[in-house]
Each structure stands twice: as C-alpha cells, then as structure tokens.
Amino acid sequence: MIKNIELDEERLEGIYREEVRAHLHRIEQERVYWTLKDLCQQVQLSEPYVRAHILYEPDFPAWQEGDHWRIHAEEAREYLKKRGMELCKKRKSIRTNRTP
C-alpha cells in the first residue's frame, strides 16, 4: 500500500535555507583566525580605513606573518564590541553637549 504525502515546497525551501544559514553562521563562529580581508568584511569598512584606525591599535589582537595579517577572531569580536560601545558613548556625549 502506497500513501501519498503532500509537501509544502515553499515551507521546505524556507526551512532548508534557514538551516544552511545557521550552519554557515556556526562555521563562521568556529573560525579561530581572520585575515585582513575577513576583518574588513566583519566591520564593513575599507581596508585603508581598517589599517588606519583598527589594525595598529596596541590592544587589537593581530600580528603580521610576512605579508599576511592574522587576527584572533574571538578576541577581535570582543575588542570591536567594546570599541563600538565606547565610540557610541562618545557620540552621544558630543550630541548632548551641543548647544542649539
């Protein structure tokens, strides 16, 4: 006896896409080191800007091996979160101190 099973193809495709997205996110989170290109993609800034404002900061977890940069991903995430919060606080204080 054969039973017919109806499948909602749109729903299955949505589930499939979400699982693939989640898997790619897990892979990204498991990466131990970033390259300079990875860092630029993470912060969505140009390489010249990253070099000038992030890469050479004394507390930033990066080092150079020959012509290539190695960045510890987890430590860099924490640094960028902290730096982002500090910049945000600075901007808010600048806005609140302005006189009309």
Asked whether residue 64 is domain-assigned, the answer is yes
Backbone angles phi and psi of 2, in degrees to 5: -105, 130
Number of domains comprising the chain: 1
Taking the C-alpha atoms of residue 37 and residue 10, their distance in angstroms, rounded to an integer, is 35
CATH number at residue 79: 1.10.10
Q: How many angstroms separate the Cα of 81 from the Cα of each of 47, 54, 84, 85, 100?
A: 19, 12, 5, 6, 32
Asked whether residue 42 is domain-assigned, the answer is yes
Residue span of the structural domain in which 75 resides: 32-93
Asked whether residue 12 is domain-assigned, the answer is no
Asked whether residue 14 is domain-assigned, the answer is no
* The pTM of the whole model exceeds 0.85: no
**Span 4-41, pLDDT tens digits:** 888 888 999 999 999 999 988 887 766 688 999 999 99
**Does the CA dihedral 54-58-63-66 come out positive or negative?**
positive
